[in-house]
C-alpha cells in the first residue's frame, strides 16, 4: 500500500522534526537561562568560568577542543526524560522510537558542532553553513547576551536575542553594547537580561 507508506513516512518525518526542534529550543533556553544565570548552579559555573574564559574575545579556537571534563549531559537529560516520559503516554511505540533516536542524534549534534566551532581547521569548515553558524557562535563569545542557539539560530530571532555577523550599516556596535534595543526588551520582558519574574515586579521594588 504505497499511500499508507507515504502517510507513515510523513508522520515519522513530522515526529523527527518536532523532536529535533524541541531539543534545539531546549538547548537555546538552557544556555540562556541556566548557562548564563546563577540559577544554573554548576552548569553556570562550568559554562562561564571554563567555556567562556577559554574562548573569549578573539581567542575562539584552539587546536583541540578544551573540555572542562565536567559532564553536563545528566543536567540536560532530566527535562528530556520528562518529555519522553510524557510522550510515552500519548505516542505510538514506533513514533516513540523515532523520537528517542532523533533526540539522541540531535543532542550529539549540538555537542559535536559546539566542539567543532572551537577547533582550528575543523573538517566542517569546507561547508558554508558551518562557517556561518560558527561566526554566529563566535559573536556569542564576544557578546554573551546574544546567539544562544548552537544549530537553529531562528530561536534567537524569535527570542529577540539574534545578532547577525554583519554589523548594521552606519552603526558600529561597541563591544559593551550587548543589550538589546529597548523596544525589543519592552516587548519581550525576558530580553532585558533580567530574570523573567522581574517583569512582574514594580520598578524600584
Ligand atoms: Zn562556544
Ligand atoms: Zn554561552
pLDDT in tens, the chain (205 residues): 566 688 888 999 999 999 999 999 999 999 999 999 988 888 888 888 888 988 887 788 888 787 766 666 666 777 778 888 888 888 889 999 999 999 999 999 999 999 999 999 999 999 999 999 999 999 999 998 999 999 999 999 999 999 998 765 544 434 333 343 444 443 444 444 444 444 444 444 4
What is the pLDDT, as a whole number, of residue 74?
A: 65
Cα–Cα distance measured from residue 50 to residue 55, given in angstroms and rounded to the nearest whole number: 8
Nearest-ligand number for the alpha carbon of 147: 2
Cα–Cα distance measured from residue 119 to residue 124, given in angstroms and rounded to the nearest whole number: 10
Give whole-number Cα distances, 78 to 22, 30, 48, 74, 86, in Å.
14, 12, 21, 6, 13
| Ligand 2 centroid from CA 186, angstroms | 23
| Ligand 1 centroid from CA 39, angstroms | 20
Reported as half-sphere exposure (CB side, CA atoms, 13 A), residue 65 has a value of: 13
| Ligand 1 centroid from CA 52, angstroms | 7
| Ligand 1 centroid from CA 153, angstroms | 14
| Ligand 2 centroid from CA 149, angstroms | 9
3-state secondary structure at position 166: coil
For residues 110 and 76, the answer to whether their CB atoms sit within 8 Å is no
Query: 154, 160, 159: which is closest to 20 by C-alpha?
Result: 154
Sign of CA dihedral 156, 164, 176, 125: positive
What is the pLDDT, as a whole number, of residue 68?
A: 66
- pTM of the complete model: 0.73
What is the pLDDT, as a whole number, of residue 169?
A: 55
What is the pLDDT, as a whole number, of residue 105?
A: 94
| Ligand 1 centroid from CA 122, angstroms | 14
Cα–Cα distance measured from residue 137 to residue 149, given in angstroms and rounded to the nearest whole number: 8
Under DSSP, the state recorded for 119 is B
Amino acid at each position: 500500500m504505497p499511500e499508507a507508506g507515504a502517510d507513515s513516512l510523513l508522520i515519522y518525518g513530522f515526529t523527527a522534526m518536532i523532536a529535533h526542534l524541541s531539543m534545539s529550543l531546549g538547548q537555546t533556553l538552557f544556555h540562556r537561562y541556566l548557562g548564563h544565570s546563577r540559577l544554573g548552579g554548576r552548569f553556570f559555573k562550568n559554562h562561564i568560568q571554563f567555556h567562556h574564559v577559554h574562548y573569549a574575545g578573539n581567542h575562539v579556537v584552539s587546536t583541540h577542543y578544551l573540555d572542562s571534563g565536567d559532564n553536563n549531559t545528566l543536567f540536560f537529560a532530566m527535562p528530556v526524560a520528562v518529555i519522553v516520559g510524557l510522550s510515552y503516554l500519548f505516542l505510538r511505540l514506533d513514533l516513540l522510537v523515532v523520537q528517542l533516536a532523533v533526540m539522541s542524534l540531535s543532542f550529539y549534534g549540538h555537542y559535536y558542532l559546539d566542539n567543532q566551532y572551537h577547533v582550528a581547521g575543523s573538517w566542517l569548515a569546507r561547508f558554508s553553513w558551518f562557517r556561518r553558524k560558527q561566526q554566529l557562535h563566535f559573536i556569542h563569545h564576544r557578546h554573551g547576551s546574544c546567539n544562544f542557539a548552537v544549530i537553529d539560530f531562528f530561536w534567537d530571532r524569535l527570542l529577540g536575542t539574534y545578532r547577525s555577523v554583519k554589523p548594521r550599516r552606519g552603526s558600529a556596535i561597541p563591544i559593551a553594547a550587548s543589550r538589546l534595543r529597548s523596544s525589543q526588551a519592552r516587548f519581550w520582558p525576558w530580553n532585558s537580561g533580567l530574570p523573567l519574574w522581574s517583569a512582574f515586579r514594580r520598578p524600584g521594588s
